Structure 1
Amino acid sequence: MALLKLFIRALLLLQFAMQLLDGAEPQNLNCPAYGGVPGTPGHNGLPGRDGRDGKDGAIGPKGEKGEPGGNVQGTPGKAGPSGPAGARGEKGSPGLPGLPRRENTDSLKSEIQHLNAKIAMIEKAVSFDTFRKVGQKYYVTDGFKAAFDNGMQYCKDFGGAIVLPSTALENQALLKVLVSSGLSNNKPFIRVTDKETEGQFVDTEGKQLAFINWHNGQPDDYKGVQDCGSITDSGLWDDVGCDGQHPIICEIEIG
């Protein structure tokens, strides 16, 4: 009996404390019953505060398969490893030509300039009354007569010099020019002189002659005044005075 009273008293104190915590008015704790006799059950107290969530429970069974999603492409996955190399394909069609390199462009410009200069020289050569091509040279004349030095300047103005055969073939071609131009009997100048050293004929640049075709007994420096060369109607050479008026035949080299 004493234990039952002690349990009821503890229960009432606990209920009273819960009412104080919830801010509720304390219940009337007067017991109409006599001591030792259990009273009527009291009113239910207010609900307590929510407790904390308990520890995660066991994983439930797998649910049923859901409905398929819409036709929406998801984000691409990670790239997989590279596959083996495929077979070599067929050769493609040629591409468009690339731009020329700077070196090629400069070379092309130089070639064009050289070609233009060559064309200009040919135009000068064919402007004369008589002209003949010999290798890379043109022998040209229009019957102009002058002293040796004036003749050199005349030919220089056309980009050339007084004619000087360097081979037997060129000497023969020069003879044909003499015949066709009607200058055979006038002994046109050739570009040889011994002004520097008497009896030693060289070209106007002081170089030794690669070819000579002197007439028998020539050069003889007649009366000591014959320091320039000429060509006769036989194609043989003779020395003449440099100040005399002789036909000027120019040679224009086409490089």
Structure 2
Amino acid sequence: MKALGEKLGSLSLTTTALIILLLWLSGGILLNAAPTFFPGFESMNRTLLSEWLRFPQERFFLKAWFIGLCLCMALLGVNLIFCSWRRFFNLLRKNFGAARALMLLVHFLFGFVALGHFSGFMFGYRYEDIRLAQGQVFQPAPDHSIKVEKIQLADASRTPGRLGRNPSIFDLNPRRNFAEVSISEEGKEIRRQELSFLTPLRSGARQVTLRGFTAGSDPDVVLAISSNPALQFFLILYPLMIAGMGLHLAITWRKNSQRTNSPTP
């Protein structure tokens, strides 16, 4: 059992897993560039992966690639756990210090951030460039819907250099050009808000962002709709991880500077 733990926490396993992950991701890039598999990657990004894996129309080879990616990431996670247990806990017992404690904390935060990425990957979704007219409804999931209640597009005809073209959201006054959007869950409205540039609608893990307008007699809005159950935890843990890495660097840098400047006997 001890020998197995040493192998699972070894640096050679880390190097091997990273090489496999790099090759696996390179293969995914090549698959994404192929017209045969590109629609499958688009479908993967837009739907819950638990549902995507059950789609009969998706190619088995693409599903096998994704499962292999998950297995490779799981192997790296196991390696991180055993490496932290074997090395850092032993170091903390022998010589406890702020730098080692911070490094251990950063390792734990990195693991939680990785879990947040994985949960968002598995249980989240993102729909880009959804075009809806006033009164239209979009259902990203069976239990809730998003409806465009009102579209206010006042400055499209006065946008400079864009006659006959769709106005850019960057050129429009957000107070005069917006879309009123509502979110309903199981037929009951739970949130309503005016969307404009840099003012998305947030409701729990869901977010609706206004990306642009389509001008005309019956204008449309272009929306990006996403959901990530771990977003709030990720927004807290990720800055903590970056701050811990910076603080660890400052402590070790100061210690190294003191050793360099100390006079030799």
TM-score, length of structure 2 as denominator length: 0.22
TM-score, length of structure 1 as denominator length: 0.22
Rg larger for? 1
More strand by share: 2
More helix by share: 2
